[in-house]
């Protein structure tokens, strides 16, 4: 995908893939070309679902952002409770199911937004054709997914003026059999993406972006995705303060498991972004779905442009009893429009 696609159409509920279309996908060839045809035919992959209710007209010029890979959204109520204790104005979430058997066919984005008094914008990263991995299947309440969506979201106290889904990849790395090896139990249509939203503040508009970069790849592929994202954000919100947050999968590479070697850091700096508002420490942990992680990693980040940087922290993603809510910690950052 040489030029990242920016989709600005919104709906109240994403249109589902019907049984005939799903059968066609599963019975057809596993090629890059077929994957691109399937992507083009699935309407939901080019739409943003919006919902929830905003509780403010604008977010303050000094604001708090939470970013969290929520690992499917297995515990939406407890997750909302953890987020609420940090009083965020904007929440950037990734790895959110919608209509998946492994998360009880729920819509965790809508549940969390409702609990926090926020409006949400949700987009599909992958249409999941299976029920999930080995540790996920015991949580399935059905033998099918009602929707099969898995994606990212932006939640905001103030209703966004504009939203967009930015597609970063369409090559079918989790589907095409002629690409690198992936888990055959988790065939998917889609690719890495971001949700961007322009939200109002007393000091003008602010662009906030939730993203999730490729795990099953090396630094060069993630750098290419970051380059595409930065170019798309500049087209969507030119000359605007920007905060990008999410799981960048830095160092998630068997050949070079060192986040400091990632190319995307210098690339973003060259575009005027700062990485200085990130706390020291790793951001992964053991969870119910990832009970035996091979190592701890620093995957989750904020990158900011045109903003004052007022501190950040890494928050353990556990409930009040100490039980894990995700395999990623929550990161919280404080920013201001100067």
219 token code pair: 């630094």
Angle at 265 between CA 261 and CA 271, to 5 degrees: 150
Closest by CA to 196, choosing from 151, 224, 158, 160, is 160
258 token code pair: 């060192």
Q: Is 44 left (phi over 0), alpha (psi -120 to 50) or beta?
A: alpha
Q: How confident is the prediction for the chain on average, in pLDDT?
A: 94
**Strand 48-52 to 10-11 pairing:** parallel
Say how far apart CA 63 and CA 121 lie, in whole Å.
19
> What pLDDT was estimated at residue 2?
60
pLDDT digits (tens, 9 = 90+) for 98-136: 999 999 999 999 999 999 999 999 999 999 999 998 999
**Contact (CB, 8 A) for 219 and 72:** no
Q: What's the average model confidence in pLDDT over 35-58? A: 97
pLDDT digits (tens, 9 = 90+) for 48-79: 999 999 999 999 999 999 999 999 999 999 99
In order of their start, the domains of the chain are: 5-336 (3.60.10.10)
Q: Is 99 left (phi over 0), alpha (psi -120 to 50) or beta?
A: left
Say how far apart CA 228 and CA 48 lie, in whole Å.
19
In the block, tokens 């490729």 appear at 214
pLDDT category of residue 180 using cuts at 50, 70 and 90 = very low
CA distances from 215 to 81, 174, 250 (A): 28, 11, 8
Say how far apart CA 68 and CA 317 lie, in whole Å.
9
pLDDT category of residue 181 using cuts at 50, 70 and 90 = very low
> What pLDDT was estimated at residue 179?
47
Say how far apart CA 324 and CA 92 lie, in whole Å.
19
3-state percent helix, strand, coil for the chain, nearest multiple of 5? 20, 30, 45
> What pLDDT was estimated at residue 40?
95
CA distances from 233 to 5, 167, 182, 236, 290 (A): 11, 11, 29, 5, 33
* Three-class DSSP category at 328: strand
pLDDT digits (tens, 9 = 90+) for 268-310: 999 999 999 999 999 999 999 999 998 899 999 999 999 999 9
* Three-class DSSP category at 260: helix
> What pLDDT was estimated at residue 185?
61
Calculate helix-pair angle for 108-116, 76-84, nearest 10 degrees. 40
pLDDT digits (tens, 9 = 90+) for 217-272: 899 999 999 999 999 999 999 999 999 999 999 998 877 789 999 999 999 999 99
Residues 6+ apart with CB under 8 A from 208: 65, 90, 92, 154, 156, 196, 197, 199, 242, 243, 245
């Amino acid at each position: 995908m040489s030029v990242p696609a920016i989709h600005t159409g919104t709906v109240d509920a994403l249109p589902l893939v019907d049984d005939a279309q799903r059968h066609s996908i599963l019975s057809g060839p596993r090629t890059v070309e077929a994957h691109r045809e399937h992507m083009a035919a699935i309407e939901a992959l080019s739409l943003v679902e919006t919902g929830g209710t905003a509780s403010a007209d604008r977010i303050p010029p000094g604001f708090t952002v939470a970013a969290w890979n929520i690992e499917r959204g297995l515990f939406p109520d407890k997750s909302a409770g953890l987020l609420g204790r940090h009083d965020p104005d904007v929440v950037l979430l990734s790895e959110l199911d919608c209509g998946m058997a492994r998360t009880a066919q729920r819509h965790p984005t809508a549940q969390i937004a409702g609990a926090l008094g926020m409006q949400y914008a949700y987009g599909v990263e992958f249409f999941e054709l299976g029920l999930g991995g080995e540790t996920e299947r015991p949580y399935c309440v059905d033998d099918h997914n009602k929707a099969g969506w898995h994606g990212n979201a932006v939640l905001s106290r103030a209703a966004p003026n504009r939203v967009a889904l930015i597609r970063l990849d369409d090559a079918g790395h989790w589907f095409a059999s002629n690409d690198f090896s992936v888990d055959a139990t988790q065939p998917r249509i889609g690719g890495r993406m971001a949700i961007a939203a322009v939200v109002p503040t007393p000091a003008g508009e602010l662009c906030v972006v939730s993203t999730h970069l490729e795990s099953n790849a090396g630094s060069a592929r993630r750098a290419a995705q970051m380059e595409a994202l930065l170019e798309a954000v500049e087209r969507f919100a030119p000359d605007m303060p920007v905060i990008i947050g999410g799981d960048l999968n830095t160092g998630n590479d068997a050949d070079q498991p060192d986040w400091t070697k990632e190319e995307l850091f210098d690339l973003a700096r060259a575009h005027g972004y700062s990485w200085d508002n990130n706390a020291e420490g790793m951001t992964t942990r053991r969870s119910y779905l990832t009970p035996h992680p091979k190592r701890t990693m620093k995957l989750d980040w904020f990158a900011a442009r045109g903003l004052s940087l007022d501190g950040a922290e890494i928050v353990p993603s556990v409930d009040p009893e100490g039980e894990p809510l995700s395999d990623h910690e929550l990161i919280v950052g404080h920013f201001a429009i100067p």
